[in-house]
């Protein structure tokens, strides 16, 4: 490594360290920090839905969620042609999703809260209306099989190999008492490997496999990152522990799912209870 690169890396680490210390003390060093602060306990005591993009997610169910705050991600905009529901909050973490769909991601008309990992991949799509959550712990978050869960995104978030983990940390910070997950099928047909790696893992090339709610979600030839379900399970277990330890609920209300580490609930029963 050249001396210039070493100096740049040291400066970056120092800047991140300063920002993390300030964040832990809830000191805003930038306009982005102030936007993060504005989310603190914004939805104290409320219920929210965090959406996966699995095949079990339907426009009919999205219509049912209109009265509630919702978190969605990635190519959820493909559902817009079949529903006038729109997510309250929208996030992207995966660098290939950002790079392959930068115009569509920029056009989503929701409160956009993304991982800072994707900044280099959005290019001209970066706009002041985006709030950035800094991923401080990508390599450290799964050492020894233990995942950390950030309750204060001001100091950064922890990676969990899924954008949903980012959103669960954000929902906690916003004060939601009950968080229900929908469309989290937790089952994938993998594509052939390209033999390449991205910042978030091995790169695959789609051959038309259907792993999502829309038939054109991933077209043949599109690259994507291999899903590490083994590590995601550990992340969801860490999220469940944090929620339950602090008297909150984290429930999997997906119509179909292979994720069994969370409390399960029937969506229709959940909505009936919330409507009372």
Read off the CATH number of the domain in which 217 is found: 3.90.1480
Give the pLDDT confidence score for residue 132 in this predicted structure.
95
Note the pLDDT tens digit of each residue in 176-199. Answer: 999 999 999 998 877 788 888 887
Answer yes or no: is 247 within a domain: yes
Task: Identify the domain containing residue 160 by its residue range.
Answer: 38-274
DSSP assignments along the chain, one per residue: --HHHHHHHHHHHHHHHHHHHHHHTT---SHHHHHHHHTTTTTTT-EEEEE---TT--HHHHHHTTTS-EEEETTGGGGGGG-----SEEE---HHHHHHTHHHHHH--SEEEEEGGGHHHHGGG--TTEEEE-B--TTTTTGGG-----S-GGG-B---SSHHHHHHHHHHHTT-SEEEEES------PPPEEEEEETTEEEEE-SS---SSSTTSS-TT-EEEPP-HHHHHHHHHHHHHHHHHTT-EEEE--SS----SSEE--HHHHHHHHT-
91 and 163 Cβ atoms separated by less than 8 Å = yes
In this structure, is residue 50 part of a structural domain?
yes
Instruction: For residue 1, tell me if it sits in a domain.
Output: no
How do residues 143-174 score in pLDDT, each as one tens digit?
455 688 999 999 999 988 899 999 999 999 99
Q: Does some domain include residue 109?
A: yes
What's the domain count of the chain? 1
pLDDT tens track for 40-52: 999 999 999 999 9
- In a domain, residue 21? The reply is no
Per-residue pLDDT, averaged over 243-259, amounts to 97
Lowest mean pLDDT among 11-15, 94-98, 223-227, 232-236: 11-15
What is the pLDDT confidence band of residue 140, given thresholds at 50, 70 and 90?
very low
Q: Residue 132: phi, psi to the nearest 5? A: -105, 130
Q: Sort strands 178-182 and 249-252 into parallel, antiparallel or unpaired.
A: parallel
pLDDT value at position 23?
66
User: Looking at the domain assignment, is residue 205 inside a domain?
Assistant: yes
> What would the two tokens of residue 273 be?
């209870």
* 69: pLDDT strictly greater than 90: yes
pLDDT: which is higher, 2 or 115: 115
In a domain, 26, yes or no: no
Asked, for residue 60, whether it belongs to a domain, the answer is yes
Can you read off the two tokens belonging to residue 230? 């083994």
């Amino acid at each position: 490594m050249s001396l210039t690169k070493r100096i740049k890396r040291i400066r970056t680490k120092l800047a991140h360290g300063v920002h993390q210390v300030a964040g832990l003390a809830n000191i805003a060093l930038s306009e982005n920090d102030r936007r993060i602060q504005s989310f603190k306990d914004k939805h104290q005591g409320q219920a929210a839905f965090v959406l996966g993009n699995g095949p079990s997610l339907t426009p009919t169910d999205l219509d049912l969620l209109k009265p509630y705050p919702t978190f969605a991600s990635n190519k959820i905009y493909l559902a817009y042609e079949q529903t006038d529901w729109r997510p309250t909050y929208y996030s992207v973490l995966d660098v290939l999703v950002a790079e392959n769909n930068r115009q569509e991601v920029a056009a989503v008309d929701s409160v956009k809260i993304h991982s800072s990992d994707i900044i280099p991949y959005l290019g001209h799509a970066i706009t002041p209306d985006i709030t950035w959550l800094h991923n401080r712990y990508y390599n450290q978050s799964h050492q020894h099989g233990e995942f950390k869960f950030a309750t204060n995104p001001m100091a950064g978030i922890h990676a969990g190999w899924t954008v949903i983990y980012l959103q669960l940390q954000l929902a906690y910070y916003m004060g939601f008492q009950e968080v229900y997950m929908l469309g989290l099928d937790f089952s994938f047909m993998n594509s052939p490997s390209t033999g390449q790696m991205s910042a978030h893992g091995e790169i695959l090339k789609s051959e038309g496999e259907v792993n999502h709610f829309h038939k054109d979600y991933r077209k043949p030839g599109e690259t994507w990152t291999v899903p590490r379900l083994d590590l995601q399970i550990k992340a969801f277990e860490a999220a469940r522990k944090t929620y339950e330890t602090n008297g909150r609920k984290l429930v999997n209300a997906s119509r179909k799912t292979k994720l069994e580490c969370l409390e399960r609930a029937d969506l229709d029963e959940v909505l009936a209870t919330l409507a009372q």
